[in-house]
């Protein structure tokens, strides 16, 4: 079977010559009524008592609803105001030729990532990421902290918003300079922890296509064994700059990821519509973004997290639908409300890791403190999610048991989502020089782990 891209010239031609559609018409005349129709037609209902559903019929209905919706509305190119549409036969062809497994990174540090099944007993692929901006002087130590984590099969670096005293502005020379520095320093960090070949996902600092192209260099920057992102525009949209990145990444030859985060409370509506849009994003990721893997992060419009009951249902039901009907390679990206070095964030991380893995997802962990605060992330949150997620696979946790554990865990933090504690920043949680977590955070981690083990939450070791 071939890997993406799928008929790349067809996609580019349709991006310029597909049916004309204004963005507001796409949102209000196609997406919103289309979602209402398929939710009713396929009888999709969110049940707050089952954040981890056990109904295979629901999973299959969600898949059919998403396929129906995407066939009807396609993806909008916001620059050309053209809809990129596909036939059912074309979607099946792309799905049928997708291999469902890739080896990323190189040498002894390489690791295979695969599609997963519901209640899969294989360990998930775990990518560790702070998902936030950081100060330039702690970029390397923060990256090293994530890279040295034993369960990290791949790592995404923090993002720079300043370089050598200059603010980084998209489309300006400062962005190219900052993006090149990002790539160089990230490679240095991987070598300094003894994992030079580990899969590196970059360059988050590079928002524009020009800056991404500037960072492509196998000697000092992004290698062919590394990964890059072609993001989506909410909801189910793309533009020419993103398509430029897609073309460059494939002609360069690196791995391509699709970044997709449907918003609960936006045009996707409630949990039902958000799950359907999330599955449709995976179809778009394969056909338009031409991705080898997905980063999937549904989140709440107001609270900017996905560890609450409604979003856990979206995560679980999406991955179950994908697992039963495709071989997508997809990583579930956790977004926590609380910040580092708090009881709450560790419970949120454990819950997200458990729900994602039991439902069929790989892990991308994790954005914290509502993904809003510079320097507020550490590997400890990702470690908790990965230890629990891998433990759930090895211990063969069922959906039913995961649902009961999730309900118990939600009782410990759900009421505090809106007023979640900010916690402490990286410098307060880690010895930056030794790249080592503080005794305070280590003690807290062990305390919460013991509490979770006492209620039956699995750990890998």
Q: How much is the average pLDDT of 396-404? A: 98
Q: What is the pLDDT of residue 2?
A: 62
Which residues make Cβ contacts (< 8 Å) with residue 365, sequence separation at least 6?
Answer: 126, 127, 128, 129, 333, 334, 349, 352, 353, 381, 382, 385, 386
Q: Taking a C-beta distance cutoff of 8 angstroms, is the pair 411, 455 a contact?
A: no
Nearest to 213 by CA among 192, 244, 237, 168: 244
Neighbours of 55 (CB within 10 A): 13
Residue 369 has pLDDT above 90, yes or no: yes
Give per-residue pLDDT as tens, 127-146: 999 999 999 999 999 999 99
Q: How much is the average pLDDT of 393-408? A: 98
- Residue ranges of domains in the chain: 101-329+390-409
Residue 3 has pLDDT above 80, yes or no: no
Q: What is the pLDDT of residue 4?
A: 86
Q: What is the pLDDT of residue 8?
A: 95
Q: Taking a C-beta distance cutoff of 8 angstroms, is the pair 195, 110 a contact?
A: no
User: Residue 293 has which token pair?
Assistant: 């893997």
Give per-residue pLDDT as tens, 147-206: 999 999 999 999 999 999 999 999 999 999 999 999 999 999 999 999 999 999 989 999
Residue 9 has pLDDT above 60, yes or no: yes
Question: How many residues are there in the chain?
Answer: 461
Q: How much is the average pLDDT of 104-129? A: 98
Nearest to 383 by CA among 459, 307, 299, 298: 459
Q: What is the pLDDT of residue 133?
A: 98
Give per-residue pLDDT as tens, 249-293: 999 999 999 999 999 999 999 999 999 999 999 999 999 999 999
Q: Taking a C-beta distance cutoff of 8 angstroms, is the pair 301, 267 a contact?
A: no
Q: Taking a C-beta distance cutoff of 8 angstroms, is the pair 355, 153 a contact?
A: no
Q: How much is the average pLDDT of 98-104? A: 96
Alpha carbon of 97 to those of 90, 279, 284, 295: distances in Å? 11, 18, 15, 20
What's the rounded Cα separation, in Å, for the pair 255 and 68? 29
Model pTM? 0.97
219 burial via Cβ count (<10 Å: 0-12, 13-18, 19+): exposed
What's the rounded Cα separation, in Å, for the pair 222 and 331? 21
Any idea what DSSP says for residue 337?
S
Report the DSSP pairing between strands 82-84 and 75-77: antiparallel
Q: How much is the average pLDDT of 307-320? A: 98
Instruction: Tell me the fold of 101-329+390-409.
Output: TIM Barrel (3.20.20)
Q: Taking a C-beta distance cutoff of 8 angstroms, is the pair 329, 360 a contact?
A: no
Q: What is the pLDDT of residue 361?
A: 98
φ/ψ (deg, to 5) at 142: -65, -45
Q: How much is the average pLDDT of 231-241? A: 98
Give per-residue pLDDT as tens, 10-60: 999 999 999 999 999 999 999 999 999 999 999 999 999 999 999 999 999
Alpha-helix runs per DSSP H in 173-214: 173-192, 209-214
- State the Cα angle at 284 between 279 and 287, rounded to 5°: 130
Cα dihedral 261→265→266→267 (10° resolution):
100
Give per-residue pLDDT as tens, 62-75: 999 999 999 999 99
Residue 5 has pLDDT above 90, yes or no: no
What angle do helix axes 343-359 and 379-394 make, rounded to 10 degrees? 40
């Amino acid at each position: 079977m071939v890997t993406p891209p799928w008929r790349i010239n067809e996609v580019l031609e349709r991006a310029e010559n597909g049916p004309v559609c204004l963005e507001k018409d796409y949102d209000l005349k196609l997406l919103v009524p289309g979602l209402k129709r398929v939710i009713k037609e396929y009888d999709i209902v969110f049940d707050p008592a089952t954040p981890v559903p056990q109904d295979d019929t629901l999973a299959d209905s969600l898949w059919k609803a998403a396929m129906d919706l995407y066939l009807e509305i396609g993806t909008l190119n916001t620059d050309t105001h053209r809809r990129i549409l596909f036939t059912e036969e074309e979607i099946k062809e792309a799905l049928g030729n997708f291999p469902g497994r890739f080896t990323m990174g190189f040498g002894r540090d390489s690791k295979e990532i695969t599609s997963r099944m519901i209640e899969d007993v294989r360990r998930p692929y775990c990518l560790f990421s702070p998902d936030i901006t950081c100060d330039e002087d702690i970029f390397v130590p923060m990256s090293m902290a994530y890279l040295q984590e034993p369960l990290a099969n791949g790592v995404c670096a923090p993002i720079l918003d300043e370089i050598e005293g200059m603010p980084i502005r998209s489309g300006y020379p400062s962005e190219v300079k900052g993006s090149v520095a990002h790539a160089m320093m990230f490679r240095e960090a991987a070598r300094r922890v003894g994992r030079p070949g580990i899969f590196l996902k970059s360059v988050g600092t590079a928002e524009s296509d020009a800056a991404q192209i500037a960072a492509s260099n196998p000697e000092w920057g992004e290698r062919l064994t590394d990964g890059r992102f072609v993001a989506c525009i909410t909801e189910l949209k793309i533009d020419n700059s993103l398509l430029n990145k897609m073309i460059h990444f494939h002609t360069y030859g690196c791995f391509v990821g699709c970044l997709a985060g449907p918003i609960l409370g936006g045009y996707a509506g409630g949990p039902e519509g958000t799950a359907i849009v999330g599955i449709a994003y995976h179809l778009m990721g394969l056909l338009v973004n031409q991705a080898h893997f997905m980063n999937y992060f549904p989140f709440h419009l107001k609270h900017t997290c996905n560890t609450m009951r409604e979003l856990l249902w979206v995560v679980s039901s999406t991955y179950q639908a994908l697992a039963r009907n495709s071989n997508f390679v997809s990583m579930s990206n956790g977004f926590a409300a609380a910040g580092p070095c708090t009881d709450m964030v560790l419970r949120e991380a454990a819950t997200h890791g458990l729900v994602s893995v039991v439902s069929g997802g790989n892990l991308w962990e994790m954005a914290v403190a509502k993904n809003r605060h510079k320097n507020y992330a550490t590997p400890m949150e990702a470690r908790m999610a990965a230890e629990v997620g891998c433990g759930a696979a090895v211990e063969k946790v069922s959906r039913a048991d995961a649902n009961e554990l999730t309900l118990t865990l939600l009782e410990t933090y759900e009421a505090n989502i809106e007023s979640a504690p900010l916690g402490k920043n990286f410098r307060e949680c880690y010895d930056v020089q030794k790249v080592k977590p503080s005794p305070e955070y280590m003690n807290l981690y062990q305390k919460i782990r013991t509490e979770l083990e006492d209620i039956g939450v699995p750990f890998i070791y």
